[in-house]
A and B are shown apart, each in its own frame.
Chain A
Amino acid sequence: MRFGIFYELSVPRPFAPGVERTVYENALEQVRLADSLGFDTVWAVEHHFLEEYSHCSAPELFLTACAMQTSQIRVGHGAVVCVPAMNHPVRVAERAAVLDILSGGRLELGTARSSTWSELGGFEIDPDTTKQTWDEYIRALPRMWTEERLSWQGTCFSMPERAVLPKPVQKPHPPLWVTVTSPGTELDAAERGIGCLGVAAASYAEQERRTREYHRRIQSCTPVGAVNENVATLNFLYCHEDAATAKRTGMQMMGLFGLANAHLLFTREAYPTRAYGSLANLAPGPGRREGSPADPSGVPEGMAIGDPERIIRAIKEWESIGVDGVNFLLNAMETIPQEQVLASLRLFAREVMPAFAKVRGR
């Protein structure tokens, strides 16, 4: 089991001078601690224009800072938006390779296509086309990293023969992932031989179904590059010795994040299209609260919110259904004071991590 930390870099209103800097500095301090505690990966999203929800528009820069301040933890560029109006594919390949070099071969590259009208509309992107451009990017990126020179005749971009430089440290190339929000994207991941980076809530049963289907389909994939057969899910983490304190604080964080997520202007609310099905909210709804006598915590199923014992049980369940890694959101809108976030990380590392077999590196 791999453990990661995951950043949206949400910023609470009012946007007072210095508040964004505080959010970034807090995150960097958490990353340094996570590195020393043995966490495996730090992920950072790419979002644009999403006031409060995510001020993480240049994740490659944040991750470069992470890489420069750590020694072991892998850096997850998760996920770069694979749409030409936001990121030309050559620039994606170049930036990723530089980050892989600077981090000493610690890059994981997530891919995505954006899901909000705020973002797509802001760049005047036709939502109908984003699946196609994403598909073209993930076929092109491994070739840009592995071929000395490359020409490309495609639908969303074309280029005469050029050497895309530099080349990444990891051979043949950094692991590729796709973010999975809509049900069904895990099949896209499997068919292309790339990792499944869950970024929305799914129940144990739903995740088990998706994971089983992913592992079945990837056996007959047409790989776009080196196969990355891994499934990671996203979770919230608040670990405290006192279960009631953990629940109160963790649920507040989760609720606030869920509310902010619900306030996003998703594409189909503005623009009718068949390219964007229903998207799942990261924060699970009230219908999925655990209510069994064995776990009367009131915390939604599978969430890593509670005392160490409860969190171990939750993650063991994820492990048993074939999930290879769990990535944690540690805070939302800075609702949890920094010292408590750090304490939660330390307690998790001390009491929870030893219950799981360590898979280090690649």
Chain B
Amino acid sequence: MLLGTADLESFARGAPRLDSFHQGSLTLPGVELLQATFELAGPGVESLFPPGLHPTLPVLAVFAFWRADDGPLGAFTLAQLRLSCRSGARPRQLLVSSFVDGEVAREALNGRFAFGARAARVELARFYDRAQARVSLDGRTLVAVHAGAPLPLATSDLQFFASVHPAHTPKGFRLVQIDAEYAITRAERGKPVLDAFDAAGFGAPRVRPAWPVAAIVALGEVSLPRVRYVVRPDVLAFEGTEVVS
């Protein structure tokens, strides 16, 4: 099986701090979601992952947007870029970069769940014929995606996967497993279009989304349970998975 080959020092550089694992769970009601998935192109996808993870073939780049209009963190919109992989035999998505529009949310998501989100203008809008999202910083567009031709699906047709967030934790540099739970009440599938992507500006200079796969447009409750597992990034998950007691 393919293994990640990223240099750990450079991988750890710039990773956020997670000072404590014991900061409780978080439930976000009424979250509007857009998740646009593309296949990556180009050689060397394994260099995007630490040695403890296996890239899927192909690797999927997932642009995930959450917009909460109220709730415990107030109004905010979050943008994430995640890459599909395996931790041992388990499907996971490696968080590469994220941005959030909303300071309260930024502090909470970073401090409790190691999102490492930077402040930016993040927009997500849903219409009947399309959903669209954009991240811009200092007037520059970092990413713009839209999902066209939405087709209703059963909520059970959607699948979501736990993400792993690189972070400096009390156990050292680890991949923090975030087992987000989704209670979806409305689900659609659309065709994803990547209208703009400044890979370097987004913090993912070697990520090259190339082939559209699918987009999810959904509404539901997103829960972030307390952190239960972290994974050492330097060894395989069978050896490197640690329980957070």
Q: Is A258 an interface residue (CB 8 A)?
A: yes
User: Which residues in chain B, 147-189, are within 8 Å of chain A measured between CB atoms?
Assistant: 153-154, 157-159, 161, 187, 189
**Interface residue A274 (Cβ < 8 Å from any Cβ of B):** yes
Q: Are B154 and A263 in contact (CB under 8 A)?
A: no
Q: How many A-B residue pairs have CB under 8 A?
A: 63
Residues facing A in B42-79 (CB within 8 A) are 54, 56-58, 60
Stretch at the interface among A159-167, A226-234, A265-273: A265-273
Give the docked Cα–Cα distance between A276 and B82 (Å). Answer: 23
B2 shortest CB reach to chain A, Å: 7
Given A52-B1, A269-B159: A262 and B57 within 8 A (CB)? no
Q: For residue B61, give the distance in angstroms from its CB to the closest CB of chain A.
A: 11
B213 touches A117 (CB 8 A): yes
Chain A interfacial residues counted at CB < 8 A = 20
Q: How far is the CA of A279 from the CA of B56 in the complex (A)?
A: 17
Complex Cα distance A179/B184, Å? 32
Asked if A13 is an interface residue, CB under 8 A from chain B, the answer is yes
**Given A121-B39, A272-B153, A274-B157: A262 touches B86 (CB 8 Å cut-off):** yes
Q: Which residues of B contact A51 (CB under 8 A)?
A: 2, 57
Q: Does A260 contact B (CB under 8 A)?
A: yes
Q: Assuming the A-B contacts A269-B161, A270-B37, are A121 and B58 also in contact, with contact meaning beta carbons closer than 8 angstroms in the complex?
A: yes
Closest Cβ of chain B to A260, distance in Å, is 7
Cβ of A270 and Cβ of B213 under 8 Å apart? yes
Shortest Cβ distance from residue B128 to the other chain A in the assembled complex, whole angstroms: 19
Cα A121 to Cα B37 in complex, Å, equals 12
B1 contacts A272, CB within 8 Å? Answer: no
**Does A118 belong to the interface (CB within 8 Å)?**
yes
B189 and A265 form a contact (CB under 8 A): no
The contact sample of 12 A-B pairs, CB cut-off 8 A, is A13-B2, A117-B213, A263-B89, A265-B60, A268-B159, A270-B37, A270-B213, A271-B214, A272-B159, A272-B187, A272-B214, A273-B153
